[in-house]
Amino acid sequence: MKFAARCLIFVVGALGGVALAAQGKPNLSGKWTSVGSQQGIRELTIKQDDSTLAFDGGPDYQASFKLDGSETTMSAPDKKPLLLKAAWEGNTLVVTVHDPDTRQDIRRQTWTVDGDGQLVIGTEFLGPDAIMSGKPRPPVKEVFTRR
């Protein structure tokens, strides 16, 4: 009986380990549509491979960046240069946007796929971008479903 119980514990533990290993970095490639009445992007197209991610959410919301934590130069909608770093923390992609003029990080985004298979992009405003009209800017959460 003890042997059977040990075997069962081993099998359950091994299957749990396989499930955890399978929960690695998600591939975000595809066409995504916003959920609900959130402001901002309505559709988002993402192309991802092992080293880069490119997205297109309209004329003012496009970028391509490396996923290894190295800096990528991009332009803001007003054509101002920004530096972007993106790296995986577990199964969450963390993207930090840095303003070289102010020498400060101005945004931190997290990109993850939730338990329902939805893409959730959370944006936290930092540095000078954290205040708007004299008030702290609340974080923004955008949710998308894959088409």
pLDDT, tens digit, for every residue of 82-106? 999 999 999 999 999 999 998 999 9
pLDDT category of residue 31 using cuts at 50, 70 and 90: very high
pLDDT top residue among 79 and 121: 121
pLDDT at 18 over 50: no
Per-residue model confidence (pLDDT) at position 24:
84
**Structural domains in the chain plus CATH codes:** 26-146 (2.40.128.20)
pLDDT category of residue 70 using cuts at 50, 70 and 90: very high
Is the C-alpha dihedral spanning 23, 53, 80, 77 positive or negative?
negative
Beta strands in the chain (DSSP E): 30-34, 43-48, 52-56, 62-66, 68-75, 81-89, 92-99, 104-113, 119-125, 131-132, 135-136, 140-146
Rounded distance, CA 119 to CA 108, Å?
Answer: 16
